[in-house]
Structure 1
Amino acid sequence: MNPLFIKSRHFFEDIQPEYNANLNLVVVTHLLDMPTCYLDCLERFGRVSMVIPKPRSIDHNTLELVEKKFPVVIKKRDHLQSPEVAAAILNDHVPTGDLIIIDIGGYFAASVSQLPEKLHANLKGIVEITENGHQRYSSLPELTIPVISIARSPLKGPEDYLTGQSIVYSSEALMRQCHHIMNGGNAVVFGYGKIGSSIAKALHAKNINTKIVEIDPIRAIEARSRGFDLIQKDEALQHSDVIFCATGNQSLSNHDFSRIKNGAFIFSVTSSDDELDLKRADSSFNITPVTEHVSQYERLGQYFYLGNHGNAINFIHNAEVGPYIYLVQGEAIMAVDYLQNHSLEKGMANLSVAQRRKLATSWLAHFG
């Protein structure tokens, strides 16, 4: 076995909480081409009652392996928007005991306010890993349970940075398959958050002319201070050869697609339903596959290219971020342990600095 995976198993064994026979875990997760060390650790201190793979990041060999160990239910996020549907699925797999959901992308945000009263189990809380999910839960008028978010944890920063690097790697690979390169063209990054800023830095390091579209004035100032020119959306669409969508909040609307420069490439860092309003574009443009992961959209002489059907392009190449993924998963494990052993007030919550330092010390002992 790869030494990295051996170290990951030892790391998870080092941080795993004490076993609780009454604890049930429902886990939304990516199933990439790697061992199931994370899920195995969760099973050692609770019962993994259901795994919900993210549909657009499933390695089929890994899926087969996980299905032999855990109950697997493949659902898109919009399938779980109805409280009745979400509750029925959860009740089928968790008929009793305590329940904690580990979420990626706010799968249960639309239904969470009504879930506690509809479940057979005691929903103790949710752990959310991503910024998209954080925004979905925090924007709700009221949360009826505690939600521990690790999306903005400093321990997630390295993964976000390396995700940006992997996005650029994948974008170059996809463009080269179409006999295009970025050098000599103009690139724009929509959103100068943690991943968007990493994409911009990687492009700048490759001497690619890169500009930023950012509606948040604080982030806009940060981008400007790093030497990036700010650009308005209309100008960016008309003059950019490569467009990176990294806002998590619909970078491009249906109206925007008609203004994109001919021959431009569009790449997303997350799911298409988060970044792109593709429903009407898919019906109004002629779509032609160019390669396995790039499609050409054409209408009335205008054309552009879309990577991975508008979904995160780094998953094409397994979204590698090295051992830093275990740091994020480790914080999720620590958050579950904190939820099961403390009576938290309803609403958004975070782990403490002391808890994160303890986790970071353990990670450094294994990977440092």
Structure 2
Amino acid sequence: MPSPILTHSYCADFYAEHGYQFLKKLSQEYELPNNLVIFSVMHCYEGSLPYINVLAELADKLIFIPKDATVGANPELLATIKKIPRCHVVSTHNNKAHLKNIEYCEMFIRQHITPDTPFLILDHGGYFSSSITHICQAFKEQCIGITELTANGLQKYINKSISKPLITVSHLSIKTPADFEASECIVHYSDQILREEFGLKINNSGFLKTGVIGAGNLGRGVIKHLKAKGITNIHVTDIDPRKLTQFPRDGIQTCSSKYLVEHCNMLFCCTGNQSITPEMIDALSQPMFISTVTSADDELHLPDLLQQGVLTEVKTNRLTKEYKTRNGHSVYLFAGGESANTPFKTGMGDPTLYLFEAAHMLAGLKLIKDATQFKPGIQSLCEDDEIMIAERWLRHFYHYQ
């Protein structure tokens, strides 16, 4: 077997090889069918290369579906991924929109399998959610099951009729370190975008008033890293008031979403599901800078806003998209409305990403080994598996005894 392609542009990276070996050892404990096809949705990050290599070695064919946020930003990296044996890259833009179409989704799957091919879907962000009921029916004998990585992706599967098992790893405690790492990246790169595009620093309290919508792992992480940059006047809101009770003792202002949008002009949207409503946008009285932790589709329902004329696109470049409200105020979406770290190299040098990749992969491996141990519909990876991954990760990266 040829050597795995673990790096793209870095001269050396200790964690790429180390991460590959961690995931590889975990996968070798499972015996897989020779003709297995894996459909995997994931970001086109350099840090994803070890994981992609392991998945490609597991499957007869890996269908790599880059998330829309990074497919256009990294064409050179896509070319590198295409060199991985048995990895077939779906490089079409608007992959999410295409897969929402049931007829397209069925055709897409059929072009990569034969009538006797078993396949597994490793989803990230609910790309297959709109078509999942039909997939389970059309491929009743071939679809082994589905796994979902993220909380906002899982939300899209809820209330769908799913006759195959769907294992989620979105709420595992071992995903928390990676969420905090992502929060740090998002704050850091939002600051970088402000500097490069607008000549501003994120802690410019004379011009920027900062608000965080959503108090989950990512929202709390954003607040932590904003405070580390010396920002003290932070507002936070959440649909669940219980999550807000922890903040007043730390000097964080709690408020409603409406009040936050009215009084803050640098927003971090951390909910995964419509942080800001059209009515809030219509009521804006100043320019607004927005950084999302997922995508503008999820956080703002951007396609609907554009279709309804609530926002009109004005300018765009690699780092920012500018829109105008109906009242003529500018709304600037960092990274085009995707997570603010997507235009940059992220995920390297920190092994926390291998925790959730291991969980996502293990969920799929357990489905392949014996899908009958799972019931149809949504369920979580079991606690014992989560503990096992954590222990092995600590041992592999930090010599845990």
Q: TM-score, normalising length from structure 1?
A: 0.92
Q: CA deviation at 1:205?
A: 2.6
Equivalent in the alignment of 2:387:
357
Residues of 2 paired with 1:35 and 1:77: CA distance?
Answer: 19
Specify the SS of the correspondent of 2:68. Answer: strand
Q: 1:25 to 1:186 in 2, by over 3 A?
A: same
Residues 208-250 of structure 1: CA deviation (Å, up to 9, x unaligned): 2111121112223344455422112222122112111111001
1:312 corresponds, among 339, 345, 348, to 339
Contact 1:5 1:35 in 2 (8 A): no
2:51 corresponds, among 11, 17, 38, to 38
Q: 1:281 to 1:122 in 2, by over 3 A?
A: closer
Equivalent in the alignment of 2:5:
none
Q: CA deviation at 1:49?
A: 3.6
Residues of 2 paired with 1:88 and 1:361: CA distance?
Answer: 41
Does residue 13 of the first structure (1) align with residue 33 of the second (2)? no
Equivalent in the alignment of 1:63:
78
Residues of 2 paired with 1:121 and 1:66: CA distance?
Answer: 30
Equivalent in the alignment of 2:212:
189
Q: CA deviation at 1:41?
A: 1.0
Structure 1 stretch displaced more, 271-280 or 164-173: 271-280
Specify the SS of the correspondent of 2:323. Answer: strand
Q: CA deviation at 1:43?
A: 2.4
Does residue 203 of the first structure (1) align with residue 260 of the second (2)? no
Residues of 1 paired with 2:54 and 2:154: CA distance?
Answer: 24
Contact 2:68 2:96 in 1 (8 A): no
Q: 1:24 to 1:277 in 2, by over 3 A?
A: closer
Residues of 2 paired with 1:8 and 1:274: CA distance?
Answer: 30
Residues of 1 paired with 2:143 and 2:317: CA distance?
Answer: 45
Specify the SS of the correspondent of 2:83. Answer: helix
Does residue 346 of the first structure (1) align with residue 359 of the second (2)? no
Specify the SS of the correspondent of 2:290. Answer: strand
1:116-131 correspondence runs (5 A): 116-119=136-139, 122-131=142-151
Q: How many residues are paired up?
A: 367
Equivalent in the alignment of 2:323:
297
1:231-270 correspondence runs (5 A): 231-270=255-294
Q: 1:359 to 1:108 in 2, by over 3 A?
A: same
Specify the SS of the correspondent of 2:130. Answer: coil
Residues 39-83 of structure 1: CA deviation (Å, up to 9, x unaligned): 221122222341111122132222112223322223522211233
Q: 1:114 to 1:5 in 2, by over 3 A?
A: same
Amino acid in the other structure paired with 1:241: N
Q: 1:218 to 1:35 in 2, by over 3 A?
A: closer
Residues 293-325 of structure 1: CA deviation (Å, up to 9, x unaligned): 124434555334221221111112233362111
Structure 1 stretch displaced more, 315-324 or 182-191: 315-324
Q: CA deviation at 1:121?
A: 5.6
Contact 1:257 1:281 in 2 (8 A): no
Amino acid in the other structure paired with 1:114: H
Q: 1:67 to 1:201 in 2, by over 3 A?
A: same
Residues of 2 paired with 1:298 and 1:78: CA distance?
Answer: 24
Contact 1:27 1:50 in 2 (8 A): yes
Amino acid in the other structure paired with 2:392: S
Q: CA deviation at 1:291?
A: 6.1
Q: 1:52 to 1:227 in 2, by over 3 A?
A: same
Structure 1 stretch displaced more, 18-27 or 153-162: 18-27
Residues 85-109 of structure 1: CA deviation (Å, up to 9, x unaligned): 2111111102232211000001111
1:89-128 correspondence runs (5 A): 89-95=108-114, 96-119=116-139, 122-128=142-148
Q: TM-score, normalising length from structure 2?
A: 0.85
Q: 1:34 to 1:319 in 2, by over 3 A?
A: closer
Structure 1, unmatched stretches of 5+, are none
Q: 1:112 to 1:152 in 2, by over 3 A?
A: same
Q: CA deviation at 1:30?
A: 1.0
Structure 1 stretch displaced more, 345-354 or 223-232: 223-232
Does residue 4 of the first structure (1) align with residue 36 of the second (2)? no
Contact 1:237 1:261 in 2 (8 A): no
Equivalent in the alignment of 1:230:
254
Structure 1 stretch displaced more, 149-158 or 226-235: 226-235
Residues of 1 paired with 2:178 and 2:297: CA distance?
Answer: 22
Residues of 2 paired with 1:243 and 1:81: CA distance?
Answer: 29
Specify the SS of the correspondent of 1:313. Answer: coil
Q: 1:233 to 1:35 in 2, by over 3 A?
A: closer
Specify the SS of the correspondent of 2:66. Answer: strand
Which structure: greater strand fraction? 1
Q: 1:366 to 1:119 in 2, by over 3 A?
A: same
Q: CA deviation at 1:120?
A: 7.7
Amino acid in the other structure paired with 1:71: H
Equivalent in the alignment of 1:221:
245
Q: 1:34 to 1:230 in 2, by over 3 A?
A: closer
Q: 1:257 to 1:93 in 2, by over 3 A?
A: same
Does residue 147 of the first structure (1) align with residue 173 of the second (2)? no
Q: 1:71 to 1:120 in 2, by over 3 A?
A: farther
